[in-house]
Amino acid sequence: MQWLDAIIQGVLLGGMYAQYALGMALMFGVMRIVNIAHGDVMILLSLIVISLAGVLPLGNIGLIVVIVPIAVLLGWVLQKFILNKVVGADPLPSLIATFGLSIALQNLMLEVWSADTRSLPNSGIASASFEIGGIYLGVLPVLVLMCAVVLTGGLDAVLRYSRFGRGLRAAAADTEAAAMTGVDPKRIYAIATAIAVAILGLAAVFAALRATVSPSDGSAQLIYAFEAVIIGGMGSLWGAFLGAMVLGVAQAIGLRIDPGLGILFGHLVFLAVLATRPEGIMARKK
Amino acid sequence: MSSPILSTHALTGGYGDFQALFGIDLHLDKGEVISLIGANGAGKSTFLKSIFGLLPVAPDMVRFENAPVGGTPAHQMVRKGISMVPEGRRLFTGMSVEENMRVAIDNARMSEAEGPWSRERLFQLFPILKEKRRQPIENLSGGQQQMVAISRALLCQPKVLLCDEISLGLAPKVIREIYAVLPEISAAGTSIVLVEQDVTLAREASDRLYCMLEGRITLSGISQDISREAIASAYFGA
């Protein structure tokens, strides 16, 4: 029973990681842009949400409605003014540019918000729970997981069946050939990054509800997102979702063995996957 | 004579500091097929890329339908009515035959219903593609991939089609199959620029012929009127 509980809590934790990982799956897995500032952008959005909650009488839903457009704008600006200048066959320029951005963002956040940990005021939802067969489930984690499923399914369908999705996959496969076929790669990449950061906006609200955030937390979220994408397999959104579940369950099981082992267990499983199946669980055949 | 649909005027270009083209003057009339021949490194592909906005050139160096278009990004060139079958096919891996076609349809100058080219028509032209429409592009042979590349370019509904070495690396039988389609493309009103290394093929398939050597045009004229000796000296330099 204790282990079943660990697995279920792990899946719920995986829902949160899936939200971090989805934007990464789109940018790193599909577009092959390495965005080191991924976690920091999420933390920035969290801190903006927390500050907004202090001055505006908005409920949690209201905060999501406000932050997602801000995130879209942030993502579009990020792609238009930074990433489009470094995007190409070589992943190194985007890695260096976003590494710099990550450091700049962390210090900017320290300046504006100080190093204090903050979170959204508890509106009841963060501590609400219900019981099924002797296992207690938090309302918020279940909501997070449901959102992650809907987002993954929706985005996967967009990539598969929409005009935008085909254009993005074409540009990711061969940017120049896509341009020769009438796709404007820069525009389509800007939209894709805007979507990726919009999802981070949603994740930012949930992250600030379920735990505290501080300006230096971004790198941990970045690692979880990277690990989820790589465990699942590059280019597959459901793979990233599955990778996030694997990571969440590994951490939850590690935590039950010893409270200090949780995060280490996640990394060990990641290493095990890299060693035995480096292309990822659901990698598309090349 | 009416004004040409596509022309270049003292076009120079290259990669960064390396100049590969030294003043190319070339014109393509409506409905015409011209071929551009030359040895490896003569600058043929660089020339096509320069026309198509993939390499920087001055606006007046390329004129399309009497307007200066040099340096316009490739995706806007497609909207104007130029498309290209790139060297090495450059299909979108991880996508099916039909998805590759649909990327072109999504971004074409006009819809599949309005334009001369539709998937049905291309499936008639290349029946094997209909059979393989749901297959990932990686599962196709080189010749079949070339058919997809041509279909993709045609589904952009071009007025001018640029073909970069479409015979490269293919078996003679497959090359004949692919070249057999060119008259039908012409008949649909599309003008064609063929870049070729195979001189015989280029001469048979075109109305006029240009020969390039080291970034310059060394010979041009009506394909049937040019002697093999003239081509040989222009091709290799005398």
The string of DSSP letters for A150-163 reads HHHHHHHHHHHHSH
Position A234 scores a pLDDT of: 87
Mean pLDDT, residues B67-85: 95
What pLDDT digit, counting tens, does each position of B113-171 carry?
999 999 999 999 999 999 999 999 999 999 999 999 999 999 999 999 999 999 998 99
Position A2 scores a pLDDT of: 84
Res. A1: pLDDT tops 80: no
SS3 B73: coil
**Cα gap A65→A144, rounded to integer Å:** 16
Q: Percent of chain A beyond pLDDT 70?
A: 99
Q: Is B152 on the interface with A (CB under 8 A)?
A: yes
Position A283 scores a pLDDT of: 75
Position A190 scores a pLDDT of: 93
Position A11 scores a pLDDT of: 96
What pLDDT digit, counting tens, does each position of A210-223 carry?
889 999 999 999 99
- Asked whether the CA dihedral B159, B164, B170, B171 is positive or negative, the reply is positive
Res. B41: pLDDT tops 90: no
Q: Phi and psi for A221 in degrees, rounded to 5?
A: -65, -35
The answer for B 91-110 residues in CB contact with A (under 8 A) is 91-95, 99-100, 102-104, 106-108
Which residues on B lie below 8 Å from A179 (Cβ)?
Answer: 54, 73-75
Mean pLDDT, residues A188-212: 94
Res. B1: pLDDT tops 60: no
Q: Is A162 on the interface with B (CB under 8 A)?
A: no
Which residue carries 């070249």 as its tokens?
Answer: B179
Contact check, Cβ <8 Å, B52/A180: yes
**Cα gap B55→B53, rounded to integer Å:** 5
Q: How far is CA A279 from the centre of its chain?
A: 20
Position A284 scores a pLDDT of: 59
**Cα gap B234→B57, rounded to integer Å:** 26
Return the bridge partners of B13, or none. B21
Return the bridge partners of B216, or none. B213
Q: Is A163 on the interface with B (CB under 8 A)?
A: yes
Which candidate in A169, A180, A284 is best for mutational testing of the B interface (most B CBs within 10 A)? A180
Which residues on A lie below 8 Å from B106 (Cβ)?
Answer: 163, 166-167, 182-183
Mean pLDDT, residues A232-247: 93
Mean pLDDT, residues A52-59: 87
Question: Which residue would you say has higher pLDDT here, B41 or B74?
Answer: B74
Position A58 scores a pLDDT of: 82
Q: Phi and psi for B60 in degrees, rounded to 5?
A: -75, -10
Mean pLDDT, residues B199-225: 93
Question: Which residue would you say has higher pLDDT here, A132 or B80?
Answer: B80
Res. A172: pLDDT tops 50: yes
Q: How many CA atoms lie within 13 Å of B102's alpha carbon, on the beta-carbon side?
A: 17
Res. A285: pLDDT tops 60: no
Position B79 scores a pLDDT of: 95
- Calculate how close chain B gets to A170, using CA atoms only, in Å: 5
Position A60 scores a pLDDT of: 86
Write the CA distances from A144 to A2, A202, A210, integer angstroms: 22, 10, 10
Closest CA to A231 of A247, A215, A218: A247
Which residues are CB-contacts of B88 (< 8 A; sequence separation ≥ 6)?
B168
Nearest by CB: A173 against B74, B95, B102: B95
Instruction: Please report the domains of chain B, with CATH numbers, ordered by start residue.
Output: 6-236 (3.40.50.300)
Q: Percent of chain B beyond pLDDT 90?
A: 90
A105-119, A269-283, B26-40, range with the lowest pLDDT: A269-283
| Tokens found for residue A273 | 């996957």
The string of DSSP letters for A179-244 reads HHTT--HHHHHHHHHHHHHHHHHHHHHHHHHHS-B-TTTHHHHHHHHHHHHHHH-TT-HHHHHHHH
Q: Is A186 on the interface with B (CB under 8 A)?
A: no
Which residue carries 């918000």 as its tokens?
Answer: A113
Closest CA to B104 of B69, B75, B135, B139: B75
Q: Is A233 on the interface with B (CB under 8 A)?
A: no
| Tokens found for residue A269 | 């499983």
Which residues on B lie below 8 Å from A169 (Cβ)?
Answer: 92, 94-95, 99
Mean pLDDT, residues A136-162: 95
User: How open is the CA angle A144-A101-A30, to the nearest 5 degrees?
Assistant: 55
Nearest by CB: B74 against A163, A170, A179: A179
Question: Which residue would you say has higher pLDDT here, A127 or A13?
Answer: A13
Mean pLDDT, residues B71-99: 95
- pLDDT band for A135, please (50, 70, 90 cuts): confident
Contact check, Cβ <8 Å, B103/A184: no
Which residues on B lie below 8 Å from A286 (Cβ)?
Answer: 93, 138
Burial class (CB in 10 A: 0-12, 13-18, 19+), B127: exposed
Instruction: Name the closest residue on chain B to residue A30, using Cα atoms.
Output: B94
- Calculate how close chain A gets to B216, using CA atoms only, in Å: 25
Position B238 scores a pLDDT of: 66
Nearest by CB: B75 against A166, A184, A235: A184
H/E stretch holding B67 reads strand B67-68
Q: What pTM value is reported for the model?
A: 0.90
Question: Crossing angle of helices A262-276/A218-232, nearest 10°?
Answer: 30
